[in-house]
Amino acid sequence: MITGSCHCGAVHWTWHPSDLPASATVCNCTVCRRYGVLWAYAFEDEGISVSGLTTAYVRGKALEFHFCPGCGCVAYWRAREEGEDGKRQIAVNLRLAEPTLVDRIPLDRFDGLDTFDDVPRDGRCVGDMGL
């Protein structure tokens, strides 16, 4: 289990699966590159749970970016609607976890700015990001 929290400790997330996330995603879209986040994806209340009061920035019709109103840390994003399977996708910001817990997770890159495609892996892990 991995946990993360904002700087002031008011917002928390928990990664419930016993295994580490398969990867952490670095996205260069107009929002994620400004936030400087590393995402790990699952489904709300299945693999990830969140707690604490947040404020959300809603981008378009699909995503809510949740951050702590006290210290401003971006904690997670979640889909605004459930999928056809009745599940709501959510991703937590791995930068809010202790670095030693996530440093070996492989990095995936997603070009959310130009092509909207995955970029081939280059062998780097979260620890290579200098957390």
Instruction: Assess if residue 128 is contained within a domain.
Output: no
- Confidence category of residue 112, pLDDT binned at 50, 70, 90: confident
Instruction: Assess if residue 131 is contained within a domain.
Output: no
Distance of CA 89 to the CA centre of its chain: 11
Q: Coil, strand or helix: which one is 112?
A: coil
Instruction: Assess if residue 116 is contained within a domain.
Output: yes
CA atoms of 67 and 108, how far apart (whole Å): 23
Instruction: Assess if residue 114 is contained within a domain.
Output: yes
- The reported pLDDT for the residue numbered 116 is 83
CATH number at residue 107: 2.170.150.70
Q: What is the residue range of 49's domain?
A: 2-122
> Would you say residue 131 has pLDDT above 70?
no
Mean predicted confidence (pLDDT) in 83-112 = 93
Mean predicted confidence (pLDDT) in 1-26 = 92
> What is the pTM for the complete model shown?
0.91
Instruction: Assess if residue 130 is contained within a domain.
Output: no
Instruction: Assess if residue 127 is contained within a domain.
Output: no
Q: Domain total for the chain?
A: 1
Selected residue with higher pLDDT from 18 and 77: 77
Mean predicted confidence (pLDDT) in 100-128 = 90
- Spatial neighbors of 54 by CB under 8 A, at least 6 apart, are 11, 66, 67, 68, 69, 75
* Contact predicate 13/3, CB 8 Å: yes
Q: What is the pLDDT of residues 41-67, one digit of tens each?
A: 999 888 899 999 999 999 888 999 999
Residue located via tokens 């937590």: 92
CA atoms of 18 and 38, how far apart (whole Å): 19
Q: Coil, strand or helix: which one is 32?
A: helix
- The reported pLDDT for the residue numbered 67 is 97
Instruction: Assess if residue 32 is contained within a domain.
Output: yes
CA atoms of 97 and 39, how far apart (whole Å): 11
Mean predicted confidence (pLDDT) in 34-43 = 94
Nearest to 92 by CA among 81, 83, 114, 105: 105
Instruction: Assess if residue 115 is contained within a domain.
Output: yes
